[in-house]
Amino acid sequence: MMRKYAYLLALARERHFGRAAQACHVSQPTLSNAIRQLEEDLNVPIVERGRTFQGFTREGQMVLEYARRVLSEQEALIQSLRQGNLGLGGTAKLGVIPTALPAVAHILAPFAERHPKLRVSLRSMSSREIQRGLSAFELDAGITYVDNEPLLGVRSRPLYIERYFLLTRRTGPLEGRTGIGWREAAELPLCLLTPDMQNRRIAESAFERAGVCVTPEVETNSLMNLFTLVRRGHWSSVVPGQLLTVVRADPKLVALPLESPVITYTVGLVSIDRDPPTPLVNALLEMMASLDLATTIGEEAERARAMSGGS
């Protein structure tokens, strides 16, 4: 039965019988027959069938949700059984918002040393994708904002405070400045992240609090693109402090703290709200508790800002 549930989840992810079979390393007839057998076992139609995959029936959605819970509990049990004798194993599936990717190594480097048999699958995801991934039991944990948009059915542990800067050219009307207000920044030609990114929505909220509305000239879903566009073009951008830790200091650019208002948000580890937490989540929480990550990450961002020309 577990194998059939695994096939069902693969079909939900891939939404294509052939790709789902490939992901499960079986033939398409094998996967299709297993799902038909599951329908017969439960005496309900699970898949809307046509020439191509059409989706799941109402009963199929219920079976899919149950399959996710069952396989998640099975994985938690395997982790618990392994932990006593062999230590954590398997694959940890983590989703991380792009702005937090530079900070992840502060956790994963010591975590990997403590749990050498554990593999990690790390994906850059939007905050909404992380929420969906946790709800669907497709992620073990995520790193995302914990105090802005509501998170449903999760537990969170703060990791660090994110602060925001205007990345702009050193010369020009802002030359010699050590800070800038959001209202004044709105008058500049801007390149910002796309609206599906929570960092963009945070920036828009800050501009609104300053009494202005912005329409960027360029939008991108890549933080590195923001840096490149500012460096090569005439635009400025709103960036988190963590971006400054992974880009080479450029004498042509400066990172000015955004003020009036000063905006900060907390980034943290999130996981499904369950008792007890899985061994993997417990291990991540223990690792975070043993490290002063907020100070380390904050100091790193401040050093990077100083190198980029901040005061």
The secondary structure of 135-174, three-state, reads HCCCCCEEEEECCCCCCCCEEEEEEEEEEEEEEEECCCCC
- CB atoms near residue 307 (< 10 Å): 15
Rounded Cα distance between 163 and 157, Å, is 18
Domain extents in the chain: 2-70, 86-159+279-300, 161-264
State percent of the chain over pLDDT 70: 93
Unique residue bearing structure tokens 């000239």: 217
pLDDT, mean of residues 268-293: 87
123: pLDDT confidence band, cut at 50, 70 and 90?
very high
pLDDT, mean of residues 249-269: 90
Predicted pLDDT at 91: 84
Predicted pLDDT at 292: 84
Q: Report the CATH number of the 161-264 domain.
A: 3.40.190.290
H or E segment at 110?
A: helix 101-114
Bridge-based pairing state of the strands 154-169 and 253-259: antiparallel
Of 50-54, 222-226, 229-233, the range with the lowest mean pLDDT is 50-54
Angle between helices 101-114 and 279-289 (to 10 degrees): 110
pLDDT, mean of residues 178-203: 94
Rounded Cα distance between 204 and 148, Å, is 13
pLDDT (tens digit per residue) in 284-293: 998 888 888 8
**Is the pLDDT at 157 greater than 90, yes or no?**
yes
- Prior bond to 102 cis, omega within 30? no
The domain 86-159+279-300 having CATH identifier 3.40.190.10: the answer here is yes
266: pLDDT confidence band, cut at 50, 70 and 90?
very high
256: pLDDT confidence band, cut at 50, 70 and 90?
very high
CA 294 to chain centre: 18
Q: Which residue type, as a one-letter code, is found at position 167?
A: L
Predicted pLDDT at 135: 84
pLDDT, mean of residues 180-198: 95
**Is the pLDDT at 212 greater than 90, yes or no?**
yes
Query: CA torsion sign, 290 to 291 to 295 to 298?
Result: negative
User: Which residues face 191 on adjacent strands?
Assistant: 218
* Average model confidence (pLDDT) across the chain: 87
Predicted pLDDT at 64: 84
Q: Is 238 strand, coil or helix?
A: strand
Side-chain-facing half-sphere of 226: CA atoms under 13 Å: 29
Same fold, 2-70 and 161-264: no
Q: Report the CATH number of the 2-70 domain.
A: 1.10.10.10
Predicted pLDDT at 9: 85
- CA nearest 227: which of 244, 242, 241? 244
pLDDT (tens digit per residue) in 103-113: 888 889 999 89
Query: CA torsion sign, 228 to 230 to 236 to 239?
Result: positive
Q: Which residue type, as a one-letter code, is found at position 33?
A: N
